Amino acid sequence: LFALIVFACLVGDGYMSRPEDPRLFCIFNHNEDACRYGIGIGILAFLACIFFFMVDVYFPQISNTTDRKYLVLADLGFSGLWTFLWFIGFCFLTNQWSWTRAEDVYIGADSARAAITFSFFSIFSW
């Protein structure tokens, strides 16, 4: 759920344009990498959650203990990696938001703050 919120905030209000310039720019200090990173880990985390949910549903039907062990280790390893990636994302988005000038942000400030907040919550949820 947190990954979906981060993704939705960045896709919905993460890009803006000025009235005199129709090109879109990322709301986080005009750094396209900040928006791409948040969107990327948000999408991949959501897809991984769906995958691991399906694994959990079918887990009792898996009779081979070796397969079960590898699935549990994959879940544990992926969760550890994604915890680290959400921490990096939180630090990156927070840093870029702190360097963003107030006159560059018209509407998307609340979405940017929500993306930062839910990336922080994602650290603990993973």
Q: What is the pTM of this model?
A: 0.87
Angstrom distance (rounded) from CA 64 to CA 86? 33
CA–CA separation, 5 and 57 (whole Å): 24
Check whether 64 has a pLDDT greater than 90: no
The helix/strand/coil state of 29 is: coil
Q: How does residue 16 score in pLDDT terms, banded at 50, 70 and 90? A: confident
pLDDT of residue 106: 73
Q: What is the tens place of the pLDDT at every residue in 92-114?
A: 999 999 998 887 777 878 999 99
Residue at 40: amino acid letter: G
